[in-house]
Structure formats: C-alpha cells, structure tokens
C-alpha cells in the first residue's frame, strides 16, 4: 500500500513539474509578442517623428525574436518526442 501512495505522489509531482515547464514557455511567448508590439509602436513613432525607418534594426529585431520562438518550439518538440518514447517503453 505504501508503494501505491509513492507512485501517486511521484505522478503528481511529474504533472506539476510538467505544468510549470509549459507555463514558463507560455510566459516567454507572451513576452516576445508583447515586446514585438512595443517595438512596432516605437518604430512607428520614430518614423512619424523622423520620417525614415531603421530597416536594419527592424530586420535584426524580428530575426532575433523569430529565432527565439523557433528554438523554443524545437526544444518543446524534442521533449515531447522524448516523453512519448519513454511512455512507450513503460
């Protein structure tokens, strides 16, 4: 009976840990989208005041944020694949 209890708490801890990891990636996604909106508003303001747009800065910013989201998706995909392989073994 003690083993069942330990298995239940281990499973619960696994689920809580998984939820925390998913929550972290969601926070990163929300932060990137918010920063992109703020950056776009800033660039539009600068364009309104100066009359020219910083094309190199725009390209670099969106390349950086796209790369961050792409890497986050790759990490999550690899972890999901590993979790699915581990479930098949059990």
- For residue 9, tell me if it sits in a domain: no
pTM confidence score: 0.65
Q: Is residue 80 part of a domain?
A: yes
pLDDT digits (tens), the chain, 90 positions: 444 545 555 555 555 565 566 788 889 999 999 999 999 999 999 999 999 989 999 999 999 999 999 999 898 888 888 877 777 766
Name the domain count of the chain: 1
Residue 3 is assigned to a structural domain of this protein: no
In a domain? residue 42: yes
Could you tell me if residue 7 is inside a domain? no
Judge whether 18 lies within some domain.
no
Which DSSP string do the residues of the chain spell out, in sequence order? -HHHHHHHHHHHHHHHHHHHHHHHHHHHHHHHHHHHHHHHHHHHHHHHHHS---HHHHHHHHHHHHHHHHHHHHHHHHHHHHHHHHHHH-
The answer to whether position 13 is within a domain reads: no
Residue 17 covered by a domain: no
**Domain ranges, residue 38:** 28-89
């Amino acid at each position: 009976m003690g083993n069942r209890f330990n298995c239940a708490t281990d499973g619960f801890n696994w689920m809580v840990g998984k939820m925390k990891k998913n929550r972290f990636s969601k926070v990163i996604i929300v932060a990137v989208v918010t920063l992109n909106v703020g950056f776009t508003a800033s660039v539009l303001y600068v364009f309104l005041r100066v009359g020219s747009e910083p094309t190199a800065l725009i390209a670099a910013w969106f390349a950086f944020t796209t790369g961050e989201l792409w890497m986050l998706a790759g990490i999550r995909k690899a972890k999901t694949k590993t979790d699915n392989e581990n479930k098949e073994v059990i």
